[in-house]
A and B are shown apart, each in its own frame.
Chain A
Amino acid sequence: MIPAIIGVVALVAIFFAVRIIKAGPRGEPGVVSFRKHIDALSPEARREVMDRVRPPDRDNPDEPRR
């Protein structure tokens, strides 16, 4: 019985320890998150998506248009 209780307590302790480690410091400072946001909108960050999307063939007259 006692080993089972110790086991459960240990599991609960490990669970909370993992959550605390994963959470890291509370919230990201505004400066850091704003910088990340702006950097993600930079032309360099957008290049990947722009390069991936090639202009499609628009020669088909039967194509619906907006």
Chain B
Amino acid sequence: MARDLAIDLGTANTLVYMKGKGIVLNEPSVIALNRQTGEVLATGREAWQMIGRTPGYIVAVRPLRGGAITDFEITERMIRLLLQRVGVSRFTRPKVVICVPSAITEVERRAVTDAARRAGAADAQLIEQPMAAAIGADLPIDEPVGNMVIDIGGGTSETAVISLGGIVALEAVRVGSFDIDASIQAFVRREHGIAIGERTAEEVKVAIGSAAVTDDESQAEVRGRDLMSGLPKTVVLTPEEIRFAIDDVVSSIIASVVRCLAKAPPELAQDFLVRGMYLVGGGGLLRGLAQRIEKETQVPVRMSNMPLEAVVMGAGHCIEHYDALKGMFMGARR
């Protein structure tokens, strides 16, 4: 008998929750393929380590961008391999709940459910990421009070106001922590004349990236390829430079939070001043982001206890209480 699954199909990482067991898989959403034969060579962490370091015949790709499927066939193969790894076979077809960005189109929604069904799921239902995040962050969404959650993922940032088990206001932008990495790459190329890879840009963000001035600031040495000479070169980056480089992306995320606050009914808006907003998702770990959102919105911002796992935990709760919560799935309300 197959155990039902909840999947957080993120642009950056894919997490799988198995009913009755907990999180059984947490891997980067990356797949490495042989360009000539089309064979899958690696998935997850192993494929992630290959990004930017592959010979010509291998390509390591992220099949999701902005939370949407950019390559249907590769995504389907990735989901199939993920399901196989957690024990799904042609004889054990589980029910699957998949978390997706709330702003995805009908076509993208169909693409995700079709990919899951073809990959071995008996039934595939979708749930909006901010709703799953609010459940997983343990917010009291069963009460008639305003709960605000900001989910900053790899490709999307979503802010939602939730009360009495439903979404009251929602704002989403297709901007996330990968855009922060891309801004760092572009800045280093433009200002220092060196090319750095996706992974190096991410390392710089983790090491010295911040959205506001913090107490423990330090510089970082970055190695890349000089654009003029083509030789390896080292430059030193400061936190001020990185703040400047990523400011457009950070401002765009904060602007969407402000728009969501403006959409909230007044009765719920007053709750935020007391209860605060909750930050989830890997992008929320950027230093100084909570303080900057708090400064610009005048609303307290709190970090979820498990920001990376909140979404899949919320979807996992939906799979544990499938019948009672099936009204929350995207198809059920449209």
Is there a chain A Cβ closer than 8 Å to B141's Cβ? yes
Residue B13 at the A interface, CB < 8 A? Answer: yes
Residues 192-210 of B at the A interface (beta carbon under 8 Å): 202, 206
The verdict on A66 contacting chain B, using a C-beta distance below 8 Å, is yes
Residues of A within 8 A of B48 (CB): 64
Are B177 and A39 in contact, CB atoms less than 8 angstroms apart? no
Smallest Cβ distance from A66 to chain B, in angstroms? 2
Q: How far does the Cβ of B268 sit from chain A's closest Cβ, in whole Å?
A: 17
Decide if A23 is an interface residue (CB 8 Å cutoff). Answer: no
Report the interface size class on chain B. Answer: 35 or more
Contact assessment for A66 and B306 in the assembled complex, using a CB-CB cutoff below 8 Å: no
Contact between B28 and A53, CB atoms less than 8 A apart: no
B10 contact from A39, A53, A66, Cβ within 8 A? A66
- B240 sits at the interface (CB 8 A): no
Tell whether B254 is near chain A: CB-to-CB under 8 Å. Answer: no
B168 within 8 A of A: no
Given known pairs A46-B135, A64-B45, A66-B154, the reply for A37 and B327 (CB within 8 Å) is yes
Q: Could you tell me if B308 and A46 are in contact, using CB atoms closer than 8 angstroms?
A: no
If the complex has contacts A38-B142, A64-B28, A66-B13, are A49 and B316 also in contact, measured as CB distance less than 8 A?
yes
A41 within 8 A of B: yes
In the bound complex, CA of A42 to CA of B321 (Å): 12
Q: How far is the CA of A49 from the CA of B141 in the complex (A)?
A: 16
Cα A64 to Cα B165 in complex, Å, equals 33
Quick one: given A41-B165, A65-B282, A66-B281, are A33 and B327 in contact (CB under 8 Å)?
A: yes
Shortest C-beta distance, B70 to chain A (Å), equals 18
Contact B142 A42 (CB under 8 A): yes
Q: How many residues of A contact B (CB 8 A)?
A: 22
B-side contacts of A45, CB under 8 Å? 317, 321
Q: Mark B299-334, 1 if CB is under 8 A from A, else 0.
A: 000000110110001001100110011011000000
Q: Which residue of A lies closest to B318 (CB)?
A: A40
| Interface presence of A19 (CB below 8 A) | no
A41–B13 CB distance below 8 A: no
B17 cross-chain contacts in A, Cβ below 8 A: 49, 53
B317 touches A49 (CB 8 A): yes
The answer to whether the Cβ of B296 comes within 8 Å of any Cβ in the partner chain is no
Which of B18-26, B81-89, B98-106 forms contacts with chain A? B18-26
Q: Is B123 an interface position by the 8 A CB rule? A: no
Evaluate contact between B12 and A66: CB separation under 8 angstroms. Answer: yes
What would 15 more interface pairs be, CB under 8 Å, given A33-B327, A46-B317, A66-B283? A43-B140, A48-B320, A49-B316, A49-B320, A50-B138, A52-B316, A53-B17, A53-B309, A56-B23, A65-B202, A65-B282, A66-B13, A66-B154, A66-B285, A66-B308
The contact sample of 11 A-B pairs, CB cut-off 8 A, is: A37-B327, A38-B164, A40-B321, A41-B135, A41-B165, A41-B325, A42-B142, A43-B138, A55-B306, A64-B202, A66-B10
5 closest Cβ pairs, A-B complex: A66-B282, A40-B324, A66-B12, A52-B22, A41-B142
Q: Which A residues lie at the B interface, using CB under 8 A? A: 33, 36-43, 45-46, 48-50, 52-56, 64-66
